[in-house]
Amino acid sequence: MTESVVRRIRELIAEIRQHDYHYHALDAPTIGDTQYDQLVAELKRLETEFPDCLDPNSPTQRVGAKPDSGFSEVSHRIPMLSLDNVFDLDEFQQFVERMTDRLDGISSPELTAEPKLDGLALSIRYEQGELILAATRGDGSTGENVTQNVRTIRSIPLTLNGEHLPEILEVRGEVIMKKEDFDSMNRRLQAAGEKTFVNPRNAAAGSLRQLDPAIVATRPLSFYAYGVGEVSASLGDRHSDVMDTLKSLGIPVNPGLVKGDVSSMEAAYQELLAKRDSLPYEIDGMVVKVDPLALQNALGFVARAPRFATAWKFPAQEAATDLIAIDVQVGRTGAITPVARLEPVFVGGVTVSNATLHNFDEVSRLDVRPGDRVMVRRAGDVIPQIVRVMTDQRPTNSQAVPLPTECPICSSPVERAAGEAVIRCSGGLICQAQRLEHLKHFVSRKAMDIDGVGERLLEILIEKQWVKTPADLYRLSIESLKDLDRMGEKSAANVVQAIAASKATTLARFLYALGIRDVGEATARTLAQTFGDLQPLMLASLEDLMAVDDVGPIVASHIRAFFEVQQNREVIEELRNLGVYWPIHPVEAPTTGVDLSGQTWVLTGTLESMTRDEASDRLRALGAKVSGSVSAKTTVLVAGPGAGSKLSKAQDLGVRVMDEAALMELLES
Ligand code: IVH
């Protein structure tokens, strides 16, 4: 009995170790998480049932050691050194010169370049392949014994892989927290009302130096090796070979090592810098090392850093500066956002004088006020952000910024939808900040469908102040338009003609074109069908609106708010006076003898006598619902030339199929 248990436990341990190796060292897991968890669960069960068979280095033993009262000291037999830094090509070349001056006859040594991981240094000692000690760098010669904590890091093997293991092997590398792990951990800590960490490096350092290994076990730490300390046997003649050997032993090594010579290092630097933000962990530079160990030994060390390696640093992504003011901006969709005006500061490679604060919740969360000293972060092309406020340096007379009640551009009241963090201007059609977006929407195909008035023309018309509201479009003349850049008489006439043609529309299109928040095409259609004309809709109460299918309290309140703004009502009035009209449908009686209510129609392929949108409008006018996909509920599929999968699906389902001629006949009956 026990014999078979021992065998099974050994099997499970070997299998789990193998999976850990694939997952953490090779980045190529061979089973799914659930399957992995099942193996671990089986192992735990056997170990609990047969405690005598417990192997102290079993993968289940990563958590559980008692909290330490503090860390004991560990002296490093081989010191853990630091690196000198260079900040540009010039300084890098000086580093190379200093090095080659000492290497008689070798002007271009073979080099390696690898990411400089932004975490904290760790030394892990294996004896006979078993992890026996892990220590922080400390002052380089004495560090802290963090073995219990390190045993909880899943990517660090407790036992090495392989046959001929060196008796002693000290692995040196960086403990880090991946960006994603950092974000989810901080979310978790925040939800639990606990203190969050400011960045992944602090999170890694703070977690590793936690006194309770059970807590450390909940912190998603990772480790990558970049070198070795004491070793009892050679692992290779080059740094790159040593890294390969470590990898084969099951140790995750710093990914992204490239080999090259002096002349290729600048390109390697630029390449890594370009990749920086897409990497799953934070890096703060590129480490260049001489590859052959014989040359490393010949070069030796100065003070606390090797002569054979240097850190070519990236521009810092965080910097402190003063916040001068918090301004309020209105975006193109009416979102009102606070913007931080900063004392200019060089960060992430550029000078930054503005940072986004996203919304007013963020302002309260950060408790940021004018006059504060703040930490600004600019990563890659991302808009600079304020990541924290140094509240201890806050001036005594500082004042929090109040939440705006009206739009700074058009003075319309601001509104905040339930569950949304942003506040918005309710000015809709009249707010200058929202003009372009509104007009683009107004002319778009499913709205007023004004062909020939594109974004560029709208920009010009807005800039010239010829068009402030949609009504102004209907006042444009060929005379004024023809003198615009790249326009001419003919195009101007086409534009005016297209605008005039849009006057004959439908109520649904017009409602959609108004750009009322959350009133999309479908809602606009339902509203048009329900109210028949604009006037009753404008007079409808919240209750009336909420009685409409698909209209809930939020949409109803947006509709009410829109029509309550006097300028919106004025623009509508002007549009009607300028000739925009739609057929009025008495709410009860259908307009023709054909009643398609309760039917679902689908259109596919090309139609010749009208567009699919027009055909859809006409079918809806007869009460049909027009859908984009065929299902068993489809009543009729209208198939024009070029119909494909929808047609075959309709045939499979036995749905009635009609061609364009039959459709026309029905519409005209
Ligand atoms: S080599 C003897 N390689 O940077 C040279 N260090 O600023 C030992 N670091 O203490 C360091 N990534 O904690 C090396 N690829 C890398 C590194 C790296 C990050 C850290 C390491 C070191 C610090 C020096």
Dist CA 562 CA 413 (whole Å): 11
pLDDT tier, 536 (very low <50, low <70, confident <90, very high otherwise)? very high
Q: For 365, what's the count of Cα atoms within 13 Å in the CB-facing half-sphere? A: 12
Phi, psi of 388 (to 5 degrees): -160, 165
pLDDT of amino acid 590? 45
Specify the residue with its C-alpha closest to ligand 1, atom 3: 226
Concatenated DSSP letters of 148-212: HHHTT-TTS-SB--SSS--SEEEEEEEEE--HHHHHHHHHHHHHTTPPPPSSHHHHHHHHHT-S-
pLDDT tier, 588 (very low <50, low <70, confident <90, very high otherwise)? very low
- 661 Cβ contact partners less than 8 Å away, ≥ 6 residues apart: none
What architecture does CATH give domain 317-424?
Beta Barrel (2.40)
* Candidate from 80, 81, 117, 258 with most ligand 1 atoms within 8 A of CB, to mutate: 117
Q: Which range (20-24, 270-274, 421-425, 601-605) has the least confidence?
A: 20-24
pLDDT of amino acid 26? 65
From 44, 116, 179, 440, the catalytic residue: 116
pLDDT of amino acid 542? 93
Q: Does the structure show a pLDDT above 70 at 587? A: no
Per-residue pLDDT, averaged over 359-380, amounts to: 90
For the stretch 176-228, pLDDT in tens is 999 999 999 999 998 999 888 888 988 998 899 888 888 899 999 999 999 99
pLDDT of amino acid 66? 43
Per-residue pLDDT, averaged over 446-471, amounts to: 92
What architecture does CATH give domain 600-667?
3-Layer(aba) Sandwich (3.40)
pTM, rounded to two decimals: 0.61
* Candidate from 114, 116, 171 with most ligand 1 atoms within 8 A of CB, to mutate: 116
CATH topology of domain 2-61: Helix Hairpins (1.10.287)
Q: Cα(236) to centroid of ligand 1, in Å?
A: 20
- 168-176/120-127 β-pairing: antiparallel
Q: Cα(210) to centroid of ligand 1, in Å?
A: 22
Q: Cα(116) to centroid of ligand 1, in Å?
A: 6
Buried/exposed code over 246-284 (b: 16+ C-beta within 10 A; e: otherwise): bbebbbbbbebbbebebeebeebbeebbeebeeeebbbb
What 8-state DSSP symbol labels residue 416? -
Specify the residue with its C-alpha closest to ligand 1, atom 21: 121
- 320 Cβ contact partners less than 8 Å away, ≥ 6 residues apart: 345, 373, 374, 375, 376, 390
Does 195 participate in catalysis according to the annotation? no
DSSP bridge pairs for 626: 601
Q: Cα(120) to centroid of ligand 1, in Å?
A: 9
Which atom of ligand 1 is found nearest the CA of 306? Answer: 2
Which two tokens mark 388? 């924290």
pLDDT tier, 23 (very low <50, low <70, confident <90, very high otherwise)? low
Amino acid at 123: S
Residues with CB under 6 A from ligand 1: 81-83, 114, 116-117, 121, 174, 226-227, 254, 287, 306, 309, 311
pLDDT tier, 501 (very low <50, low <70, confident <90, very high otherwise)? very high
Residue 103 near residue 178 (C-beta atoms within 8 A): no
Q: Cα(654) to centroid of ligand 1, in Å?
A: 69
Number of Cβ within 10 Å of residue 82's Cβ equals: 14
Specify the residue with its C-alpha closest to ligand 1, atom 22: 82
Specify the residue with its C-alpha closest to ligand 1, atom 16: 116
Dist CA 191 CA 432 (whole Å): 40
For the stretch 590-636, pLDDT in tens is 445 678 888 899 999 888 888 888 888 888 888 888 999 999 889 89
Dist CA 65 CA 114 (whole Å): 35
Residue 503 near residue 509 (C-beta atoms within 8 A): no
pLDDT tier, 387 (very low <50, low <70, confident <90, very high otherwise)? confident
Buried/exposed code over 341-360 (b: 16+ C-beta within 10 A; e: otherwise): ebeebebbeeebeebbbbbb
Which atom of ligand 1 is found nearest the CA of 174? Answer: 13
Q: Hey, do 428-501 and 507-577 end up sharing a CATH topology, with the first three levels equal? A: yes
Q: Does the structure show a pLDDT above 60 at 264? A: yes
Specify the residue with its C-alpha closest to ligand 1, atom 15: 116
* Candidate from 124, 226, 289 with most ligand 1 atoms within 8 A of CB, to mutate: 226
* Candidate from 81, 174, 269, 313 with most ligand 1 atoms within 8 A of CB, to mutate: 174
Which atom of ligand 1 is found nearest the CA of 81? Answer: 2
Per-residue pLDDT, averaged over 533-558, amounts to: 92
Per-residue pLDDT, averaged over 16-28, amounts to: 73
Domain ranges for the chain, please list them.
2-61, 73-313, 317-424, 428-501, 507-577, 600-667
Specify the residue with its C-alpha closest to ligand 1, atom 10: 82
pLDDT of amino acid 608? 84
pLDDT of amino acid 309? 97
Which atom of ligand 1 is found nearest the CA of 85? Answer: 7
Q: Does the structure show a pLDDT above 90 at 663? A: no
Q: Cα(314) to centroid of ligand 1, in Å?
A: 14
For the stretch 323-346, pLDDT in tens is 999 999 888 778 999 999 999 998
CATH code for 507-577? Answer: 1.10.150.20
Residue 385 near residue 365 (C-beta atoms within 8 A): no
Which atom of ligand 1 is found nearest the CA of 311? Answer: 7
pLDDT of amino acid 64? 38
- Alpha carbon distances (Å) from 49 to 3, 5, 54, 127: 14, 10, 10, 30
Nearest of 132, 150, 158 to residue 221 by alpha carbon = 150
Which CATH number is correct for 73-313, 3.30.70.20, 1.20.1440.120, 3.40.50.1980, 3.30.470.30? 3.30.470.30
Q: Cα(82) to centroid of ligand 1, in Å?
A: 7
Mean model confidence pLDDT for the chain: 89
pLDDT tier, 136 (very low <50, low <70, confident <90, very high otherwise)? very high
For the stretch 54-66, pLDDT in tens is 888 888 876 534 4
Q: Cα(186) to centroid of ligand 1, in Å?
A: 26
pLDDT of amino acid 540? 92
CATH code for 428-501? Answer: 1.10.150.20
- H/E run at residue 142: strand 142-144
pLDDT of amino acid 25? 60
